[in-house]
Structure 1
Amino acid sequence: MKKTLIQLFLVAGMLCACPAGAQPLTLEQCRASAVEHNRTLRDSRFDFEAARQDRRQAFTNYFPQISASGGAFQAQHGLVQADFGLTIPQMGTMEMPLSLVKRGVFGGVMAVQPLFAGLKIVNGNKLARVGEEVGALQVRKTEAEVREQTDTYFWQIVSLKEKLRTIEAVERQLDEIHRQVALSVDAGLVTTNDLLRVELRQQEVASNRLKVENGLKVARLLLAHHIGVDWQGFDIAAENFAEPEAPGVYYVSVEEALDRRAEYQLAEKNVEAQRYQKRIERGKHLPTVGVGAGYLYYNMTDKDVDDGLVFAQVSVPISDWWGGSHALKKARIREQQAENDRLQAREMLSVEIEKTWSEVQEAYAQIQLARRSVDSATENLRENRSFYEAGTAPLTDLLDAETLYTQSRDNFTSACAAYRTSLARYLRVTGR
């Protein structure tokens, strides 16, 4: 019984170790896998965690600054050298050399609590908090870009699969045409030239199949790498995109989209950050005030001495005032530049949103045109097949009709994929 359980666990482990792509993934599953495993997004999260640690580090500046030091020394001669005159009755004054402090040890601990530091600590903490918020916005921006790229790869694969299905349908039609032409050649009704035309068309279709299959393999590899799954055996659950939803349900106003865009919020955070930088620069030229306490110990003359002390200190950066006005003006210029960049970002993002919406509408209109082309090409192929079978149309007309049918189907597939891709881009540029 125990051996059987062990075997069951081993089989279960092997099943779990199978490539994630062994089971076809839907679009939502690909998106979820990309959010969890994409390396670019993972790097963005690392940057966010680093910014969070910077914010926590800045908060520690409110705490007292504690330092400890100590040492020992051995001098060749005493550090204190002096001559003392010693007067002895009946002997007069004698000069007595004195040498002290030849060796010793010392140590101490100091703690300084800043009371006022020109608001550098306060503004430094606010700046660090802005840095953390910027990191979060960068994660959101990267996640939207990863999602868009995931959709692009996914619909590219679906498009290539649709083209393969079209090629398979064309191959079946050409096989039937080849069979009919071969019978006509055997009966002496047509020359072998018609048969060669059909075979050339079959070779052309076979060449297209090879290109599509290679493109499909590369697209699968790119998507598997993008979402962080094993590419061997990876595949997607192909979705039908021949009847896409009209784009009107996805429309949002430009103003609403701008408020959602991480890029615009990053531009606003840059203005805020430059404002705090200016305040920090101003604080560098203000006095700093602090209080402290300490403990000292030393032994210089073979006697232990320890003592505590409290103190207050004021530091005025007088020499920094010389260039401080220019540094402060530079900080003000950077703030104005950040505000100008914010306004420019708003204008450019508005243009991008409008442009992308136009592309979505255009892509949807292309689907309608391509669908009508498919209907026309299908009817044209049906009529030319009937005419050929009735002997009222040459083979070239039938092959031309088949070529137009293939092109119209491929154009329709490409239009559907382009619409899905442009729609994914529109969702990104509108902050969704």
Structure 2
Amino acid sequence: MKGIVWLLLLSGAVPSSAATHVLSLDSCRAMALRNNKQLAVSELQRDVATNMRKSARTKYLPHVSAVGSYMYNSRELSILNDRQKGALSGIGTTATSGLAGSLQGFGEGLTDAQKAALDEALKVFGTTTDQALGNIGAQVTGLASALNAEGQKVVDAFRTDTRNIFAGSVMVTQPIFMGGSIVAMNKMARLGEQMAANGIDAKRQQTLFDVDNAYWTIVSLKNKKRLAESYLKLVGRLDSDVQKMIREGVATRSEGLSVKVRLNEAEMSLTQVNDGLVLARMLLCQICGLPLDTDIALADEDSCSLPTADATVYGSHSDAVNNRPELQMLQNAVDISKQATNLLKAGNLPQVALIGGYSFSNPNVFNGFQNKFGGVWSVGVLVRVPIWNWGDVAYKVRAAKGATAMANLELAEAREGVELQVSQSSFKLSEAGKKLTMAKASAEQAEENLRSANLGFREGVIQSTTVMEAQTAWLKAQSQKIDAEIEVKLSQVNLKKALGTLDD
């Protein structure tokens, strides 16, 4: 038994998922700003602009780049042709062929007496003429081989072996003067970031404007629902009284039918108000990022009379010009256009940059032709001076100045429009305040007329048609009073948006 009691207590303590959510205007604003997708898009656009600004800042800094390559060639480059290669490879044979022939002819041309004399002379060296000639021939042959080997070395030294080529470099570039283009790019990037931030403010104020309109529309419809319910009760009570009078014979059926028609109209009005209230709640849920079927109630919807003590909104035209994000965005567009003109002007100015780096390759020719990696450091100054471009830059600068002039005209027109909007909103707020005063007076008078008509009807001195007329006048006066109260609120919202102070 105790377990069942505890289970019931716990089930009662758990909040229902279908519980009504009571929302104030501030909470609706907070949810809308948190869940608005267009506002999230604007935030991402600001992040993009911030990264672009950071990217533009890097143009002031030195940039380092590395390049590497490999190439395979089907044939290698040859400095010597085939005939030169053959001549160098056989240089020893060519040089000693005549000497070998001369020695052979010398030996065959000796007479026996000459040969005997030479043999006698060579006995001192322990050799004969044939042996001496043989030794000389062998030495000549050895010299030919040595010269041929040296010639082959020369041929090998001239071989390039460029079938496999590796190359690479690391370069450092430091801008010195780019004609003002880097400065203009950075200013444009900063202005772009400011424009993105102003875009967020514009989306934020538009979101708050939509929330306030939806919020006070629901409050207005809820008040009109109570008014329609009260009117339905009045007509229903009159219908009941008339039916009793018909049964007693003091009223006609025509009067009863007229009251029935008015009762049906009151029921239809209540149905229309209920439908409008459901749709208005769905709209507010959509703006706030809530499911459309969320059961919500507003903190101000049960107020019988809306507070209007803060009906005065302070501000001037100059405040609107300084606060409106739309005007600030147009001013950003003008400034960006001016910097774009400066960027184009840089095309006619010289550009100076400091460059340096290290290059390497395999094969390399820094110490003859070698099949290994070798490199060299280098540093220098790069200067680019435009000489003639057929007026291309001048035409672009003129076009950019024209775009700047158009942006200035759009800004001036927007300022005039904002000033007019502020004046219209101020007049509308003042007019709404006067309407509210008159509507309250009319509502009090209609309330008194309805009381008098009901009293006269119960006493039998006033007909039902007069009561219905008093009820209609009371309904109209109360409806006008609700409309006037909501118009004051919406006029305040419009004026704050026109002044750019809707966040306050």
TM over 0.5: yes
Q: For 1:129-278, list aligned pairs within 5 A.
A: 129-231=190-292, 232-239=294-301, 240=303, 241-245=305-309, 247=311, 249-278=312-341
Cα contact 1:285–1:321 (8 A) shared by 2? no
Q: CA deviation at 1:321?
A: 5.8
Counterpart-to-counterpart distance in 2, 1:44 and 1:100: 61
Q: What SS does the corresponding residue of 2:250 show, helix, strand or coil? A: coil
Counterpart-to-counterpart distance in 1, 2:468 and 2:20: 40
Give yes or no for the alignment of 1:91 onto 2:94.
yes
Give yes or no for the alignment of 1:309 onto 2:312.
no
Cα contact 1:33–1:228 (8 A) shared by 2? yes
- Distance verdict in 2 for CA 1:344–1:421, change over 3 Å: same
Give yes or no for the alignment of 1:376 onto 2:440.
no
Q: What SS does the corresponding residue of 1:266 show, helix, strand or coil? A: helix
Structure 2 unmatched ranges of 5 or more: 1-6, 96-150, 364-369
Residue deviations 1:197-237 (CA, integer Å, cap 9, x gap): 22221211111111111111111111111122233112212
Q: CA deviation at 1:151?
A: 0.8
Residue deviations 1:146-199 (CA, integer Å, cap 9, x gap): 111111100000000000111111122122212212221222222333222222
Q: What SS does the corresponding residue of 2:296 show, helix, strand or coil? A: coil
Q: Return the letter of the residue paired with 2:481.
A: F
Cα contact 1:81–1:100 (8 A) shared by 2? no
Q: What SS does the corresponding residue of 2:378 show, helix, strand or coil? A: strand
Question: Normalising by structure 1, what TM-score?
Answer: 0.90
What value does the CA root-mean-square deviation take over the aligned residues? 2.6
Structure 2 match to 1:329: 398
Cα contact 2:320–2:418 (8 A) shared by 1? no
Match of 1:422 among 485, 491, 495: 491
Give yes or no for the alignment of 1:405 onto 2:474.
yes
Structure 1 unmatched ranges of 5 or more: 1-6
Q: Return the letter of the residue paired with 1:364.
A: G
Q: For 1:72-87, list aligned pairs within 5 A.
A: 72-80=70-78, 82-83=80-81, 85=84, 86=87
**4+ residue segments displaced more than 4 Å:** 94-99
Cα contact 2:216–2:486 (8 A) shared by 1? yes
Q: CA deviation at 1:99?
A: 6.1
> How many residues are matched?
419
Q: CA deviation at 1:386?
A: 2.0
Larger CA Rg, structure 1 vs 2:
2
Q: What SS does the corresponding residue of 2:298 show, helix, strand or coil? A: coil
Question: Normalising by structure 2, what TM-score?
Answer: 0.77
Give yes or no for the alignment of 1:394 onto 2:463.
yes
Cα contact 1:77–1:99 (8 A) shared by 2? no
The 10-residue stretch of structure 1 (268-277 or 119-128) with the greater mean CA deviation from structure 2: 268-277
Give yes or no for the alignment of 1:103 onto 2:101.
no
Query: Which structure has greater strand proportion?
Result: 1
Q: What SS does the corresponding residue of 2:23 show, helix, strand or coil? A: coil
- Distance verdict in 2 for CA 1:218–1:344, change over 3 Å: same
Give yes or no for the alignment of 1:296 onto 2:391.
no
Structure 2 match to 1:47: 45
